[in-house]
Amino acid sequence: MMVDLADLERNLGVRFDHPDRLRAALVHRSYVAEHPDAVHNERMEFLGDAVLQLVVTVYLFGYHPELSEGEMAKVRAGLVNGIELAEVAREVELGDHLVLGRGEQASRGREKESILADAMEAVIAAIYLDQGLDGARRFIVERWADRLEARVAAPGKRDYKTRLQEASAQDGKRPRYRVTEVGPDHDKIFTAVVDIEGEIVGEGTGRSKKEAEQSAAARALERWLT
């Protein structure tokens, strides 16, 4: 089992001293079912979750002394979850590098939120094991800081994407986003479309992918909840 890691390392912004640690983080249980000598990444997921929780907690404790224990807990819970982990996984194109069994590959496992989220935790563990806590902290802060600050600005509020996710989940449905961009690098405009089970329910624009998705989710909520 050999995986070319150069692109993934570039996307992560981390050059591993021991690439096998990153390679180990990419192995899903479905692959091990077909290759008994392989080792899946679930122990690394456990470690990565703990590292992510610690870094986020220390960040909030150090940079936001105005937050109470309860407010810090709300912010952390809103950021350390499968939805956010899967989003970061998509940003670094993690799905393209996962080692899956044939069944999961056939069922589009590379796009499944739960598989992406779990693998992202395992990758955080790999960074921690290879680069130490400082390296893991740098990666997490780079990828989560904007999300954290947005939550801190209104810790009692849920963003539009989360609210749409929760509203649609009541009917057993899940929103999906498609984002396009136009314009030069210094002046890009992003357009997001959100659909639920193939039906477009919202569209929005913004100066970033996240802003466009939030705008689309807001429009979708207006429709979904009326």
Q: Which sequence positions are flagged as catalytic? A: 49, 121
Kindly calculate the radius of gyration of the chain based on its CA atoms and give it in whole angstroms.
18
How would you list the strands of the sheet with 175-182, edge to edge? 175-182, 189-196, 199-206
Q: How crowded is the C-beta side of 24, counted as CA atoms within 13 Å?
A: 19
First to last CA, the chain: 51
Distance CA 151, CA 159 (A): 8
Full DSSP string of 201-217: EEEEEESSHHHHHHHHH
Three-class secondary structure of residue 168 per DSSP: helix
